[in-house]
A and B are shown apart, each in its own frame.
Chain A
Amino acid sequence: MRVLFYYRGSEHIGVESIIAYLKSKGHLVELIFEPAIGENGFVDIPLIDKIFYNDKMILNKAIRFKPDLIAFSTITNLYMPVKKLAKKFKEVMPKVPIIVGGIHATSLPERTIAEKNFDMICLGEGEHAMEELLQRMREKKSYTDIKNLWVKDETGFVHKNDKRPVIRPLESLPNPDKSLFAKYGALNSTVMIMTTRGCPFACTFCVNSFRNQVYSGEVYLRQRSVQSVIKDLIEIKKTYNPKEIRFEDDVFAYNQKWLNEFKVEYPKHIGIPFHCYVTPSTAKDEILAGLKQAGCKSVSIGIQSGSEKIRTKLLHRRHSDELIIAAAERIKKHNLKIFAEYIFGFPEETPEDMWKSYELNDKIKPFSALSFIFYPYPKTALAEYSLKNGYLTKEDYDKVKDGYGSYHTSCWLDLPYKDEVYKLNAMLPIWNKTPKFLKPLLKAILKLKYGRIHKLIYLASIPIMWFEEFVARIKAMPRMLMMTRKALMNDDWDMAYKDDLEIKYLQNQEISLQPNTVIQKEKDLIDVKSIVKAKALETIKEKRRKNHFFHGEIKFSK
């Protein structure tokens, strides 16, 4: 079957993983990628992109590919462009079904499937569900009962299917396929990789607070073996020759045993400097020493708020100031650069609380400070809390659910100190780099009413936050735009592709049916008891999964 994916902004490991899986099952997969350089959350100048490519080129490429299925993956902040493009695809290819997955569809299934241009949505992991869907489409069978999918039928009725168990082990999946993103120039000198799925924590502002709740009853967090990660990286190194690797795991190397193996294998086979995420509680000496030995050059650490009260009571991050300062000192002791991350504009946060982030940052003295504005991601515990406690209006929450705004520029909460949120968010990166004797000047600017000067300072701070990354991105932009133009005009998929896999599959089955059946029968006789037991356990687990279904109100346990 022919599947057309769409993504924008940057490479996406989840999409790469589904692409790899579907390719491994014999499907022809193509990607339409938009760099969206002019709409990156900081600036909104779509014209930058439109000089190089336009919707007509995108639609023409899609038509030429003749997809059997169009697939979108979306996070909340990308939902609007996805919706717009789906409408255009539907206008020119009304018979091609459109599926939407990603965290946005997973957290807001009712709202997403209600969109008239979406025929189905995928909740949770997409590899197995999409393959089953394509297999059924290939066999011209009904696909309204596939687990992890909600499917609209001809009458408009939505079939809401149960969820699948999480994929285990992760090595059962092929390594993510970056090639389609690469041809659009989406891979620059830094290449992303993930060694885990999920996060061991459930910070209230993060989608993991929702995801862990949905997947209660089975642990969502899984980690790939070191061997599998290294094998993947060897291929990445050979193909893309990156200057830096970014481990995008929410928390990297939390497992000491895993790290002990990784710190030997990574320098031996890869040896490229890397960046990863740690938390104040996982930044232990032994872990940091392991990271350093492996070749880590810098870490991001989420502080989120300088106020212990906000961290503990509201964010569910019980890290004392002392613990954070000690963690920062340990990181520096191991000669790793710190990128400290903060969020401003939480409910109940006062200007004093926000100022504490500045004070704590002065004690940590990170290499760089990155600041964001609290964005109430749908269904997260803190978004629901904001709504219940009058910090977020239903109207604004609806706008968030439609993907308006960004965590760089939009304070959605109804706070009495909104200006302070914008000002303190705008100036922290510069504050972090300013020598002590000049800080009174910044303090004076902070006392001014929020206005152009703060916005200018914020824009100026973008390169300061992460200079190397900024330079790499700026350098990559023209190339990315040119490559996107080229990729949209070139049809480089396998023109000889013919979907005759069903026949091959059936033939293979005929050949191998006899011996397998015999072995299975022998096995059955020997092991009836354990099979019955396993089946009973699977039934219990199935029931548990139903109890933690994707829709309906999530009850955050007390």
Chain B
Amino acid sequence: MDKELIKLNVIDRDGKKTLIEAIEGISVREAIMDKLAPSMFALCEGNCICATCHVFVARGDFDKLMKIEEDETETMATNDIEQTPYSRLCCQIKLKKENSGMTVTIAPHVSL
């Protein structure tokens, strides 16, 4: 069965919004990395340990996502990120049909 193309709005660290398309089933991290490849992003390649793929999911889209797992919560807590109630690590978000049109904002990279 052919997989659908899912639309994803990505707001980068400069505030620029880009609409990208990605195949259903891949992670938001893979989609962003493939199309935009931001600086200092997703350093652990999706292993859920570095938290550099931190994104803020738009409020309306947040509840449509699968429930956050303990691993992700722990990684967010133990890495250098400023969390909000809409924080997610996008390596843990798999794109599904119901997520089409979702908007995510790439969190700032904390620097010295």
Contacts and interface: CB of A to CB of B under 8 A. Distances in A.
Contact of B49 (A218, A281, A314, A385): A281
B47 A200 contact: yes
A323 B41 contact: no
A318 B76 CA distance: 10
B49 A282 contact: yes
A254 B44 contact: yes
Contact of A316 (B13, B108, B110): B110
Interface residues of A, number: 40
B100 to A, nearest CB: 22
Interface string A60-84: 0000000000000000000000000
A406 interface: no
A318 B51 CA distance: 11
A556 B39 CA distance: 9
A37 B40 CA distance: 39
Nearest to B42: A219
- Secondary structure at chain B's binding surface: helix, strand, loop or mixed? loop
B66 interface: no
B50 A255 contact: no
A39 B81 CA distance: 41
Contact of A217 (B37, B44, B112): B37
B37 A218 contact: yes
A202 B49 CA distance: 12
B109 A557 contact: yes
Contacts of B50: 200-202
B111 A201 contact: no
B42 to A, nearest CB: 6
Contacts of B37: 216-218, 541, 544
Contact of A213 (B13, B39, B44, B47): B39
B105 interface: no
B5 to A, nearest CB: 14
B78 A319 contact: yes
Interface in B57-112: 74-75, 77-81, 108-112
A557 B44 contact: no
B78 to A, nearest CB: 4
Given A200-B50, A221-B45, A557 B112 contact: no
Given A281-B79, A557-B109, A254 B43 contact: no
Interface in A178-222: 198-202, 204, 212-213, 216-222
B20 to A, nearest CB: 12
B25 interface: no
- Secondary structure at chain A's binding surface: helix, strand, loop or mixed? loop
Interface string A368-408: 00000000000001101100000000000000000000000
Interface string A279-296: 011101000000000000
A201 B112 contact: no
Contacts of B108: 557-558
A219 B45 contact: yes
A104 interface: no
A312 interface: yes
B11 interface: no
Given A318-B79, A319-B78, A558-B111, A548 B39 contact: yes
Contacts of A201: 43, 50
Contacts of A384: 112
A275 interface: no
Contact of B44 (A221, A280, A312, A382): A221
Given A219-B43, A385-B112, A548-B39, A200 B49 contact: yes
Contacts of A312: 80
A198 B47 CA distance: 14
B33 interface: yes
Interface of B: 13, 33, 37-45, 47, 49-50, 52, 74-75, 77-81, 108-112
10 nearest CB pairs, A to B: A200-B44, A216-B39, A281-B78, A556-B111, A200-B50, A217-B37, A316-B80, A385-B112, A557-B109, A318-B80
25 contacts: A199-B43, A200-B45, A202-B52, A216-B39, A217-B37, A219-B43, A219-B45, A222-B45, A251-B49, A254-B49, A255-B47, A281-B74, A281-B79, A282-B49, A316-B110, A318-B77, A318-B78, A318-B79, A323-B78, A541-B37, A544-B37, A556-B111, A557-B13, A557-B109, A558-B108
Given A202-B40, A222-B45, 8 more contacts: A198-B43, A200-B47, A201-B50, A212-B43, A217-B37, A219-B43, A317-B80, A319-B78
Interface of A: 198-202, 204, 212-213, 216-222, 251, 254-255, 280-282, 284, 312, 314, 316-320, 323, 381-382, 384-385, 541, 544, 548, 556-558
